Structure 1
Amino acid sequence: MSQYDVLCIGNAIVDIIAQCDEGFLETNGIIKAAMNLIDAQRAELLYSRMGPALEASGGSAGNTAAGVASFGGRAAYFGKVSKDHLGDIYTHDIRAQGVAFDTRPLDGEPPTARSMIFVTPDGERSMNTYLGACVELGPEDVEPSKVEGAAVTYFEGYLWDPPRAKEAIRQAAAIAHAAGREVSMTLSDSFCVDRYREEFLELMRSGTVDIVFANSHEIKSLYQTTSFDEALAAIRKDCRLAAVTRSEKGSVIVRGDETVAIEATAIRELVDTTGAGDLYAAGFLHGYTQGLDLKTCGNLGSLAAGLVIQQVGPRPRQNLRQEAMKAGLL
């Protein structure tokens, strides 16, 4: 019996989300639909120019942890914040959502990370992230008892940007596998894949990672092909289990010779795609750690993603367990 269903490891980032038009992106030199890494000076500049905003604990893996907890799962999280105002916001917010978060905060510089997310009328999000204290996450922040006690340890590809986090991930993966647990990752975004393609492939091919989450752009970037089918055939060989999302086309899950196609959840209106992939992973992993079949796992992921894209922000306002029960999935 595991102590936790899913342990998530990621960049502990306070999301600051505001809506804007296409002209704002152009005027401020923001690359649309990407995660742009910025320095403290640019973070202050963009913050001064953004309109009314929503502030909440975020970061890709943090969103997944909150999603697992909303489904009624037992979630834990590793991530580095500072002892400052945004660090307090992050800690209170993620704990209030039922996630075990005990990583020791940094005492001093750099400050807690923040991501200014600009959402255009088409629902696409353009992220501008100052990593701050995130870069200080290291092997000393890995709590072995939590790793050993989690059915699946899940981490975000974005962690390959801060160098010491790589050591922490490899250490956690070794602990997890020694305890008979599984390790999962998300490729995060196609720009991240471009930066670390060979390392990501090595993680999969070496068995360091058992389960991979990606979207269609990321998987095509990983295998440097324009063909989705070619990329899917390749990841089937490289990874034990992969779940690939395709926006309105739903998702495809592959495991060995098995292929499971999942339909997208019908939505009323696309508002903000922030957190869609994170919540898909939350639904899938919740089902997976409860021993449900792959189709149900995919449907839980699709449900969570479909709910979150109909609102501003990466955390569904609905109780995901109740929504899943209404849909007959739990």
Structure 2
Amino acid sequence: MADAKYDVLGIGNAIFDVLVRTDEAFLSRHGMARGSMALIDEARAGAIYQDMGPATEMSGGSAANTIVGVANFGARAAYVGKIKDDQIGRLYAHDIRAAGVAFETMPATDGPATGCSYILVTPDGERTMNTYLGAAQDLTPADIDEAQIAASRIVYLEGYLWDPASAKQAFVKAATIAHGAGRQVALTLSDSFCVDRYRDEFLELMRKGTVDLVFANEAELRSLYQTADFDSALKQFRVDAKLGVVTRSEKGCVVAAKDGVTAVPAFPIEQLVDTTGAGDLFAAGFMFGLVRDAGYENAGRLGALAAAEVIQHIGARPQTSLKELAQQNGLPV
């Protein structure tokens, strides 16, 4: 196998994040289900934006947040996602490259605007997302660079990509190239509503070995197996996935491998501010641990550390060096 140019390459919906603190009244006024992720059109995006208060803005999308976390740990990271050559698209490209991520996807010159997500954070730290996919859903197999995929140790895909048909094809093409080059493919299930829509297809990806590593939270795992019983869902997850990781908020995480289950506690935090990016940053730490051959327990601890850092402030980007935090906590970097 040739040496890898990148440790982790992520493929996802390139979404410009607009984060704002709000209250339950705002959510009910706009008919939003608290804690959900809804896909919206340009008109609804405009209506929400007009009614919002001051916001924090940054390049985002689930896989992009993860890849920025990977780079923050000091690993070599790349990202593939579709933007338009417009003002927000240019902001997006500059922002993600400034975070140390290789980003070479050609922007679209026509079609819908660069995607954006309005992330409303209530006082309890819960996030409610309204996402206009825009140009992000126009990712196609042509945007997948074979050499770049083959040169990445882990190719990380987000479940949200399963919505647009052309992105789904890009996802499968990338997985095929990665396996042909002896690389690993990881998938995050993204959210329980996404699992509700694509349960059978996600299970097939796991059972056929299209993906080697699957990230889920408790809600997604229960949705995947349509059961309220965590233990029975976990048991089936171990059968279906080569390697599965389930995040359990303050209970930490469970690494489900064929040869056993490893439970890893959460890192203590001083204050929960915003859960945006918790799962994304957990995945960053876990994959960083894998590429550093740190073992499942240390990988879980690195994931827990990254998640703990990001939920103590607004936004899905680390505000302190994850590499330095890991060193301070005696974790391998």
With normalisation by structure 1, the TM-score equals 0.99
Q: Tell me, yes or no, if structure 1 residue 42 matches structure 2 residue 8.
A: no
Q: For 1:258-273, what aligned pairs fall within 5 Å after superposition?
A: 258-273=260-275
> 1:61 matched to which residue of 2?
63
* Cα drift, residue 291 of structure 1: 1.0
> 1:311 matched to which residue of 2?
313
> 1:131 matched to which residue of 2?
133
- Output the amino acid matched with 1:32: R
> 2:183 matched to which residue of 1?
181
User: How many matched pairs?
Assistant: 330
Q: Which runs of 5+ in 1 are unaligned?
A: none
- Residue 104 (structure 1) aligned to one of 96, 103, 106: 106
> 2:326 matched to which residue of 1?
324
> 1:301 matched to which residue of 2?
303
Q: Deviations over 1:242-278 (max 9, x none)?
A: 1100001100001102211110110000000000000
- Output the amino acid matched with 2:202: F
Q: Deviations over 1:96-130 (max 9, x none)?
A: 00000000000022000000000000000000000
> 1:3 matched to which residue of 2?
5
Q: For 1:103-122, what aligned pairs fall within 5 Å after superposition?
A: 103-122=105-124
Q: For 1:237-276, what aligned pairs fall within 5 Å after superposition?
A: 237-276=239-278
Q: Deviations over 1:150-191 (max 9, x none)?
A: 000001000011110010010011100000001000000000
* Cα drift, residue 34 of structure 1: 1.0
Identical residues among aligned pairs (%): 55
Q: Which runs of 5+ in 2 are unaligned?
A: none
Q: Tell me, yes or no, if structure 1 residue 20 matches structure 2 residue 22.
A: yes
Contact 1:134-1:162 at 8 Å conserved across structures = no
Q: For 1:174-213, what aligned pairs fall within 5 Å after superposition?
A: 174-213=176-215
> 1:221 matched to which residue of 2?
223
Q: Deviations over 1:18-42 (max 9, x none)?
A: 0001111001111111110000000
- List, as ranges, runs of 4+ consecutive aligned residues in structure 1 with deviation greater than 4 Å: none
Q: For 1:74-113, what aligned pairs fall within 5 Å after superposition?
A: 74-113=76-115
Q: Deviations over 1:123-160 (max 9, x none)?
A: 00000000000111010000111110000000100001
With normalisation by structure 2, the TM-score equals 0.98
> 1:166 matched to which residue of 2?
168
- Output the amino acid matched with 1:73: A
- Output the amino acid matched with 1:202: E
- SS of structure 2 residue aligned to 1:81: coil
Structure 2: distance between partners of 1:115 and 1:58: 8
- SS of structure 1 residue aligned to 2:58: strand
> 2:150 matched to which residue of 1?
148
Structure 2: distance between partners of 1:4 and 1:242: 22
> 2:34 matched to which residue of 1?
32
- SS of structure 1 residue aligned to 2:308: helix
Structure 2: distance between partners of 1:263 and 1:312: 23
- SS of structure 2 residue aligned to 1:170: helix
Structure 1: distance between partners of 2:172 and 2:71: 25
Structure 2: distance between partners of 1:75 and 1:289: 12
